[in-house]
Amino acid sequence: QVQLVQSGAEVKKPGASVKVSCKASGYTFTSYDIDWVRQATGQGLEWMGWMNPNSGNTGFAQKFQGRVTMTRDTSISTAYMELSSLRSEDTAIYYCVRAGSGKDYWGQGILVTVSS
């Protein structure tokens, strides 16, 4: 069965970077784009960007341009999202989503807390 399993919670200091992972199983990893979406506590969903695991091509929301990197390791069917220059407003749950198939599968989400 299709699964997207994300890494564990992270606590970071302001100005640091965080790299979260999303391991895919149950399908051919390179056949579907991966979206990243975040949600601050009590707030709405925010689309961050997408990555094509086959080509490595990416696209980001304007808000995150220059601060986000999306990469992958096809040998272990894992996508990564790295966000730099963290600030308190980046405290949120970060989700990966299998796109290109009706965005049918979501990871369980990773809580990233930015606090001094």
List beta partners, residue 5: 23
Residue 45 and residue 39: Cα distance in Å, rounded? 5
Shortest Å, Cβ 16 to another protein:
26
**Spatial CB neighbours of 100, under 8 Å, sequence gap ≥ 6:** 31, 32, 33
Shortest Å, Cβ 55 to another protein:
13
Which region among 11-19, 43-51, 66-74, 84-92 touches another protein (by CB under 8 A)? Answer: 43-51
**Spatial CB neighbours of 40, under 8 Å, sequence gap ≥ 6:** 46, 89, 91, 92
Residue 3 and residue 50: Cα distance in Å, rounded? 18
User: Which one, 52 or 77, has the nearer CB to another protein?
Assistant: 52
- The interface mask with another protein, positions 60-79, x = CB under 8 A, is xxxx----------------
Pick out residues in 85-114 that bind another protein (CB under 8 A).
95, 102-104, 106-109
Residue 10 and residue 20: Cα distance in Å, rounded? 8
- Residues in binding contact with another protein, number by CB under 8 A: 20
Q: Which of 1, 41, 44, 89 binds another protein (CB under 8 A)?
A: 44
Binding site for another protein (CB under 8 A): 35, 37, 44-47, 50, 59-63, 95, 102-104, 106-109
